[in-house]
Amino acid sequence: MKNKTLIETVELQQIKDDCQMCIAETGKQIPFPIKRVYYMVHNTPALPRGYHSHKKLEQIFFCISGTMKMILDDGFHKEEIILDDPGVGLRLRPMIWHEMHEITKDTIMLVFASDSYDESDYIREYATFKKQVDLICNS
């Protein structure tokens, strides 16, 4: 279960002229079929978010405006990354606990998800997450 690094970035095709256009296509930059797209807009400095993991869902987070720090945890070690480039996303695989901190008031986060919303896919308690990781590693 130990990963070499938890941080896996995805770079979009970019066209820069009088604006910055970023292009995301399934099978090219996005390694899974997109079944859900959502975004978060922060008009005031935001409280930390996340504090959960997914059993099966895979996502890619793009900070298309503002900045945000993501903390990733696989149950063995933690890593941090600042998202501040709209052309670079963070791939979040299943069973990675994630937290979002230092979210600036102008942050817009765009997320591509591999499946539709399913509450049963969430692990919302860190102790439960750690037990699941231990079960996976010991089986």
Residues annotated as catalytic are 52
Give the Cα separation of 41 and 126 in Å (integer): 26
Q: 52: how many CB neighbours lie within 10 A of its CB?
A: 15
> 32 vs 5, 79, 84, CA distance in Å?
20, 23, 23
Of 130, 109, 112, 129, residue with least CA distance to 121: 129
Tell me the sheet residues that pair with 109: 40, 63
Helix (H/G/I), strand (E/B), else coil: 120: helix
